[in-house]
Chains A and B, each alone.
Chain A
Amino acid sequence: MAYAIITGGGKIGYYLARSLINNDYEVLILEKEPGTYRLLASDLGDVVMQGDGCDPLVLKNAGIRRADLVVAATGDDSDNLITCQIAAHVFGRTRIVARVNNPDNEELFETLGIKERVNGTSAILNLVGQKVGRSNVLLLGDIARSNIEAMEVIVGEDSPFAGARLGEVKFPKNTLVISVLRNGDATVPTADTVFEVGDVLVMLIPRELEAALREFIV
């Protein structure tokens, strides 16, 4: 049974723990605040341990050496960064995921080798940007351990795709349209698929081409 340690028993830590347990993980949440710890323990029992997930001794006692997955999920980016660095460099863990709360900190995590990150704030900002109609291009998320991201593109009236055949559209190189959503149905497009206004395209694209794609569409 795979073993996962989660630091931080907030909403994200809690729901992640439940989801991992349902997927047959052995899970331990480290939560340092006594109040939050008691609340969690009354719900999840032995799955929760009171302790500071940034403290190497606490992590050692939590059995981090046999952990298959470490998720730093507190609301504090400093705490999450240090937990990840300790997990990697002190305990040699390789599957480490960081919750990044402030988008500005992404770069520092990347520089320091924390490659797998979840940034709720960026995701929400991106979704809100879409809802308020600023953009026809929406970043759905990164494909883990790759340089590929998934994008959603709405075919607007001024879109260069409207009325065009997929085979004729000159997308940036290595861009792949994996699905076309039309009237609630998803289809896998062929070179002969003709895009209509209102279509939603789900695309895979190398991260460095995201800007080129946005420019291409606008």
Chain B
Amino acid sequence: MNVLIVGCGRVGARLAIRLSRSNDHVDVIDISREAFVRLGPNFDGHTYQGSGLDGELLCRAGVQQADVVIAVTGGDNRNLTIAQLVKHRFNVKRSIARLHDPVRAAKFRELGVETLCTTTVLEGLLELYVKNGEFPDLPGEMSVFGDDSALED
């Protein structure tokens, strides 16, 4: 699968590393070159510095060959705009926008944008944790307790 991730913050970088481990081809865009440090030295995808709203940069990053574009920049509106842009202008089949605002996440899902809301996920997990003192079993390598493997040499 060809994956294009826009936004190389903690979520974007960790997701890029995870997906590229499972044989997906992953490229990453971020406005700041320093952000790519989070990918570590072993990341084998390409990195592109610039705005995820820049059509030329998206083309260079191979948006037309992407099976999925994942917008995980720091801004809800930017993620929504990128997800809609790649779908309408570059005919990308699937685009996903990470949102913090639950209202925008719900309303833009109604409009056909694949949105995921960090707030509703965390609030649900926190409620379980507070009430039960523990979490239900999570699938795969998912963890709610963090991960310090990035420090390893």
Contacts and interface: CB of A to CB of B under 8 A. Distances in A.
B118 interface: no
Interface residues of B, number: 20
B131 interface: no
Given A86-B107, A90-B107, A108-B89, A54 B81 contact: no
For chain A, the bracket of interface size reads 20 to 34
Contacts of A79: 77
B104 A56 contact: yes
A105 B51 CA distance: 13
A183 B75 CA distance: 53
A56 B77 CA distance: 12
A77 B53 contact: yes
B103 A78 contact: no
A78 B6 CA distance: 15
A78 B53 contact: yes
B104 A78 contact: no
Interface of A: 54-57, 76-79, 81-82, 85-86, 89-90, 102, 104-105, 107-108, 111-112
Interface of B: 53-55, 75-78, 80-81, 84-85, 88-89, 101, 103-104, 107-108, 110-111
